[in-house]
């Protein structure tokens, strides 16, 4: 990956001094380690996809990434990363993550993985687009609209074992005993919201399709909604390859969710790779006393030799409201950070009598 390292310089310095600092040189001409840096990189993709609706269309994307790093005077490390496409509303920078690291471990805040996901993750994907993320299982991030940044604590590594713990928060509307939103002010204040009426559009009344409604402002509160902890152990397989095993537990303030356990394992030996992930969650029984516990499962396998690689996966996430999917993919490294990828996924019908759906893609990915 081609990266540009920009050493930070003080404003007002001459161009010659700035050039010397950018080159990592001190005033006496000796090389010096920059105290802080900004790394610019990016990725892109272009190709053609076939959707579940059997639509054939082009699909492309290009993204710029920024990674920041600094060594503080007290010896601690700090930094963060963000993409140009998730910088947040108004380019406020809330879409990335930031961290502080030292002998105590690493504290990360922002768009970070929950502890269980950091330890276990997902099985391998296929294709260059991975339409609908069919290889992924469900983790409890909690939160709704207005989700707040999460806090992830990565403990210092204990031999081969890495432990993660996280707290997720979200903003929710306060409701009264009857389930109605509590007004923010007395008397209540209102705000305008724009709505698009599809019925008017379908009827050809485009001028009447957009309307403005008065909505009562409500009281909100921020609360922790998800606690997640995970651990992962790495190991060698007799010099033939590597393996890992991990697990995690997630608890939610959602009364209908009693907690989730996620387990996973993987190995890479002589070009062969494999990953298996399973999750189980307890949910309160329904009014009829039926058991509402849910399970999820995913497995992938792959083989690579030289520039070529193949991957297959199977995922069953139906209990969590997701999908069941079976996919296969092919990739060929073109060099210079470019890779040709193709993928095919079959999505079995969720109801009896319905038809299966298929997605496919063929394209090139780039790393800059």
**How many CB atoms neighbour CB 8 within 10 A?**
13
Helix (H, G, I), strand (E, B) or coil at 133: coil
Tell me the C-alpha distance between 324 and 330, whole Å: 21
36-60, pLDDT tens digit by residue? 899 999 999 999 999 988 889 999 9
What is the pLDDT, as a whole number, of residue 6?
A: 40
According to DSSP, the β-strands at 150-154 and 210-216 are unpaired
What is the pLDDT, as a whole number, of residue 143?
A: 38
What is the pLDDT, as a whole number, of residue 124?
A: 97
What is the pLDDT, as a whole number, of residue 18?
A: 40
Tell me the C-alpha distance between 150 and 122, whole Å: 20
- In the chain (368 residues long), the average pLDDT of successive 10-residue segments reads 39 36 46 73 95 90 93 92 67 77 94 92 95 90 54 95 89 70 68 62 62 64 78 92 96 73 96 96 68 89 96 94 93 96 93 87 96
Cβ-contact 303, 274 below 8 angstroms: no
> Is cis: bond before 280, omega within 30 of 0?
no
Beta bridge mates, 333: 339
What is the pLDDT, as a whole number, of residue 134?
A: 93
Instruction: State the chain's maximal CA–CA distance in angstroms.
Output: 80
What is the pLDDT, as a whole number, of residue 349?
A: 86
DSSP characters over 227-261: EEEEEEEEEE-TTSEEEEEEEEEEEES-TTEEEEE
């Amino acid at each position: 990956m081609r990266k540009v390292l920009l050493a930070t310089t003080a404003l007002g310095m001459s161009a010659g001094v700035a050039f010397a600092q950018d080159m990592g040189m001190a005033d006496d001409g000796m090389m010096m380690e920059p105290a802080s840096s900004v790394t610019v990189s990016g990725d892109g993709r272009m190709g053609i996809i076939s959707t579940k609706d059997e639509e054939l269309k082009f699909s492309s994307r290009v993204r710029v990434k920024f990674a920041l790093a600094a060594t503080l005077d007290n010896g601690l490390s700090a930094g963060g990363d963000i993409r140009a496409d998730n910088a947040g509303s108004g380019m406020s920078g809330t879409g990335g993550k930031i961290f502080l690291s030292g002998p105590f471990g690493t504290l990360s805040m922002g768009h970070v993985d929950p502890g269980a996901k950091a330890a276990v993750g997902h099985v391998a994907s296929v294709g260059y687009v991975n339409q609908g993320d069919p290889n992924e299982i469900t983790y409890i991030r909690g939160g709704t609209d207005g989700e707040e940044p999460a806090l992830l604590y990565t403990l210092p590594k204990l031999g081969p074992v890495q432990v993660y713990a996280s707290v997720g928060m979200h903003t929710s509307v306060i409701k009264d005993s009857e389930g109605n939103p509590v007004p923010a002010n007395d008397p209540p204040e209102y705000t305008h919201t724009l709505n698009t009426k599809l019925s008017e559009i379908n009827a050809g009344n485009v001028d009447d399709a957009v309307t403005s409604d008065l909505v009562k402002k409500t009281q909100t509160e921020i609360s922790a909604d998800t606690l997640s902890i995970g651990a992962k152990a790495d190991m060698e397989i007799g010099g033939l390859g590597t393996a890992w095993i991990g697990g995690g537990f997630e608890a939610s303030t959602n009364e209908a969710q009693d907690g989730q356990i996620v387990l996973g394992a993987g190995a890479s030996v002589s070009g062969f790779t494999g990953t298996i992930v399973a999750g189980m969650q307890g949910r309160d029984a329904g009014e009829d006393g039926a058991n509402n516990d849910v399970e999820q499962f995913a497995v992938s396998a792959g083989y690579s030799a030289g520039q070529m690689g193949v991957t297959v996966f199977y995922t069953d996430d139906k209990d969590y409201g997701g999908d069941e999917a079976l996919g296969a993919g092919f990739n060929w490294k073109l060099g210079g950070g470019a890779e040709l990828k193709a993928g095919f996924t079959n999505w079995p019908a969720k109801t009896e009598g319905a038809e299966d759906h298929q997605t496919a893609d063929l394209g090139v990915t780039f790393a800059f």
